[in-house]
Structure 1
Amino acid sequence: MTDAPPGTAAQSSAQGQPAARPSTLLLCLSHLRWNFVFQRPQHLLTRAARGYEVLFVEEPIFHPGISPRMDLNRTPQGVTVAVPLLPEGLTSDAVIAAQRSLLDELLAPEAGRPMVVWFYTPMALEFAGHLNPDLTVYDCMDELSAFRGAPPRMLELERALLARADLVFTGGRSLYEAKRNRHPKVSCFPSSIDTAHYAAARAGQADPEDQADIPHPRIGFFGVIDERMDAELVGALAAARPDWQFVMIGPVVKIDPAALPRLSNIHWLGGRQYAELPRYLGGWDAGFMPFAQNESTRFISPTKTPEFLAAGLPVVSTPITDVVRDWGPKPDGTAGLVEIAEEPVTFAAALQQVLERPRAPWLKQVDRRLAQMSWDQTWAEMDGQIEAGLRAATLRQRPAADTTLRRASHV
């Protein structure tokens, strides 16, 4: 254990005096690891930590011969990350029981505090379904049941989560349309942007060492590399344009790295920290989003779309529904901020077009659009709904207490 849990000395002030405990605990149950890729959960919960005490519980990690315990670390942004460490060889029922026990132990000192439970995965109901929080939030950022390796019970548990959730948020319009008739309070909060962070890419920073010797023009991608990527399209583009260099940043998960195309002008650099990304993007000439057209991409709303734009990079994407509707050309013929293409020939032509296009007029349109959105704004709107939900929960609890008082007055 490398840090103290919520409600302990970890919250002492810089002067050594105990800090006032935030009034509400926000418990997030996530299928994503905090230090994997900095994306929607991290953007939202670092902002949540300014007003709530945030406890981010990950999926377990297994080691041989250890006793079950919860590893706790506090991030610089004030989020406490909790990772269940479990012995290898447990049955699935034993894993669930161990997670429940560790979670109960972690929450025991917080008894009596207002609590919001924030779900990113319905699978967390297996070990957290017994909790009785003041408010339950389901932030549905992906259709997880469509992903490779999704547990068979995913859809069943999502139905249960929708039945108990007080608020449902979705990460894009397609997800909103899929969920809006399944719950009375569904709100669409599409991918947003930390503009200042990515705009640093426009400042002409020095290339990172592992990118400095890659020739131009450079076409770049960053993000998780999994079954959502059309690897055949990447290979076909690289083969068709050997004069272009394709820079690929991100961890490879759920697919065999050996199956990725290995041409000399494709550079698989691996994952990079969020803070490093602007330096890489600043050395690219265009971005591309070669998403496959399959069930796993049917509902996605890629966070990287506005991130490419904030970095000042023109981008071409395959026809992902939310990208087409929110960023692509309009039905009336008005140009979009993102070019859309599908086949290798048309995709290469679109990339050629954006490489040659004057940037200044396009960047003015980009900046006008990005000025209307931010993660700060998204979180503020979400938090408004949470606060209203907590107030309603408090009011629901009052009548019983008032009745008791009235009865007592007549004794």
Structure 2
Amino acid sequence: MTKKILMACANHWTSPFQVGSHHIAKGFANAGYQVAFISDPISPLHILNGISDALRDRFSIYQEGGIWDYQNKIWTYIPAALATPHNKPILRSEWIHNNWYKLTWPNVFKVVAKNGFEKVDTLYFDSINQAFWLDVIPHDKSIFRIADKNTGFSKTTSATIKQEEKLAQQVDLVVYSAKSLESYVQSLHPKNTMFLPNGVNFEHFANGSKTLPVEYQNIKKPIAVYVGAMDVWFDYELVNYAARELPQVSFVLIGPDKLARQRLADLPNIHLLGSRDYSELPAYLHNADVGIIPFDIKDHAELIAHINPLKLYEYMACNLPVVSVHWEELELLKTPAILVNSYKAFVKAIKESIQIPKSIECYQKYAHKHDWKERVRILL
């Protein structure tokens, strides 16, 4: 009989940000599981922040009643509710946090049951907002994966802090992705824990498309590339400084860029490309010269110090040298990335990295050791 797992996740399945849980879902599917990937909900209030491509995508999945993907091994759904948890008046209340699922239309339980997941072998969480599944879905095992120190996010509320601790104590196993998260995880008093760092879909990045992206035809090399989110913890001033100091280097930033367009200087060598589909990313990395991780560790240490960065492995799988701001977790990874503690050192490291011959394979060798296949094997 086919085993089943319900994965309650913050990100939606088709997000351009394919994070750890996406890869773990595929790993379970490859191991013979049937997977339900349930994302955090949408509500009419989301429209107040504007109708983004991501919201259209999420609404489409909701409207279709969920979709089957990955050779029909993974079913994904996004519930919709009248009100959903958020760090805003009323929405930050414990009542909303604990009861939003009762406001879903159609009823989220009925949708899940209709698609064959009324009972599962395993419940998996990376979303604190969906802890209710523990009480309503019969299951044998449960896992809670912590990939960030959630108190470092502005969206965190007293209700989410309480729910995270409760969820950590209820599940059978808490896994965490960074060594620096260990004491934080232990403070939640879980039954069992395991360190399971992030990884990389090595095949996708190492052997993905190497075709020159259309945008690169009009961008002069060398190229320093960044792929990922650009939120308040992104160091915009560091990028501005580096772009001014290195006018011969093109800084290409890929990801949602609403805030970046406000905070980055209007310089001819800064190129904001917006989001790109996960399938397209290898081409942008293979045709760059260095991958950068310019996080604002000074003002957002609580969050960044506990990150095990996916992009580090993805850059290196494409044989890119990596220049990153320094934090302790990166030292523990014993990575060949160049870690720096100042703006001047960041610029110097980029200069040095773009001169390294691309034939050097130490980066791919490092990334290959961190394939998601091995991570999932350990978890299973």
Task: Name the TM-score, length of structure 1 as normaliser.
Answer: 0.77
Contact 1:117 1:136 in 2 (8 A): yes
Return the letter of the residue paired with 2:240.
G
Q: What SS does the corresponding residue of 2:168 show, helix, strand or coil?
A: helix
Structure 1: distance between partners of 2:237 and 2:36:
40
Return the letter of the residue paired with 1:40.
G
Give the corresponding residue for 1:375. Answer: 372
Q: CA deviation at 1:71?
A: 2.7
- How many residues end up aligned between the 2 structures? 348
Q: CA deviation at 1:358?
A: 4.2
2:163 corresponds, among 154, 157, 161, to: 157
Give the corresponding residue for 2:20. Answer: 40
2:110 corresponds, among 90, 97, 105, to: 105
Q: What SS does the corresponding residue of 1:327 show, helix, strand or coil?
A: coil
Structure 2: distance between partners of 1:241 and 1:291:
19
Q: CA deviation at 1:305?
A: 0.8
2:152 corresponds, among 108, 126, 146, to: 146
Give the corresponding residue for 2:313. Answer: 306
Give the corresponding residue for 2:278. Answer: 274
Contact 1:166 1:185 in 2 (8 A): yes
Structure 1: distance between partners of 2:7 and 2:84:
27
Contact 2:324 2:339 in 1 (8 A): yes
Q: Could you say if the C-alpha distance between residues 106 and 25 of structure 1 is closer, same or farther in structure 2, counting changes exceeding 3 Å?
A: farther
Contact 1:300 1:320 in 2 (8 A): no
Structure 2: distance between partners of 1:221 and 1:111:
38
Contact 2:36 2:74 in 1 (8 A): yes
Q: Could you say if the C-alpha distance between residues 320 and 89 of structure 1 is closer, same or farther in structure 2, counting changes exceeding 3 Å?
A: closer
* 1:60-139 equivalences in 2 (<5 Å): 60-63=41-44, 71-77=65-71, 78-87=73-82, 92=91, 93=96, 95-99=100-104, 102-108=107-113, 110=116, 113-125=119-131, 129-139=135-145
Structure 2: distance between partners of 1:345 and 1:369:
27
Return the letter of the residue paired with 1:141.
A
Larger C-alpha radius of gyration, 1 or 2? 1
Contact 2:319 2:364 in 1 (8 A): no
Give the corresponding residue for 1:386. Answer: none
Moved more, 284-293 or 50-59: 50-59
Q: CA deviation at 1:351?
A: 1.1
2:303 corresponds, among 277, 296, 308, to: 296
Structure 2: distance between partners of 1:148 and 1:265:
31
Structure 2: distance between partners of 1:135 and 1:60:
24
Structure 1: distance between partners of 2:143 and 2:266:
43
Contact 2:175 2:193 in 1 (8 A): yes
Q: CA deviation at 1:280?
A: 0.8
Q: What SS does the corresponding residue of 1:46 show, helix, strand or coil?
A: helix
1:59 aligns with 2:40: yes
Q: CA deviation at 1:136?
A: 1.2
* 1:4-403 equivalences in 2 (<5 Å): 22=2, 24-36=3-15, 37-50=17-30, 51-63=32-44, 71-77=65-71, 78-87=73-82, 92=91, 93=96, 95-99=100-104, 102-108=107-113, 110=116, 113-125=119-131, 129-180=135-186, 182-200=189-207, 205-252=210-257, 255=259, 257-293=261-297, 294=300, 295-328=302-335, 337-360=336-359, 362-363=360-361, 365-383=362-380
Cα shift readout 1:324-362 (whole Å, capped 9, x = no counterpart) = 22134xxxxxxxx100113221110111112223454x4
Identity of aligned residues (%): 22
Give the corresponding residue for 2:54. Answer: none
Structure 2 alignment gaps of length 5 or more:
48-58
Q: What SS does the corresponding residue of 1:317 show, helix, strand or coil?
A: strand
Return the letter of the residue paired with 2:326.
P
Q: CA deviation at 1:273?
A: 1.1
Give the corresponding residue for 2:50. Answer: none
Contact 1:69 1:102 in 2 (8 A): no
Return the letter of the residue paired with 1:209.
V
Q: What SS does the corresponding residue of 1:264 show, helix, strand or coil?
A: coil
Q: Could you say if the C-alpha distance between residues 352 and 158 of structure 1 is closer, same or farther in structure 2, counting changes exceeding 3 Å?
A: same
Structure 2: distance between partners of 1:103 and 1:219:
44
Contact 2:123 2:134 in 1 (8 A): no
Structure 2: distance between partners of 1:165 and 1:155:
16
Structure 1 alignment gaps of length 5 or more:
1-20, 329-336, 384-411
Q: Could you say if the C-alpha distance between residues 371 and 76 of structure 1 is closer, same or farther in structure 2, counting changes exceeding 3 Å?
A: closer
Superposed CA RMSD: 2.8
Q: What SS does the corresponding residue of 2:217 show, helix, strand or coil?
A: coil
Contact 1:148 1:227 in 2 (8 A): no
Contact 1:140 1:171 in 2 (8 A): yes
Q: What SS does the corresponding residue of 2:214 show, helix, strand or coil?
A: coil
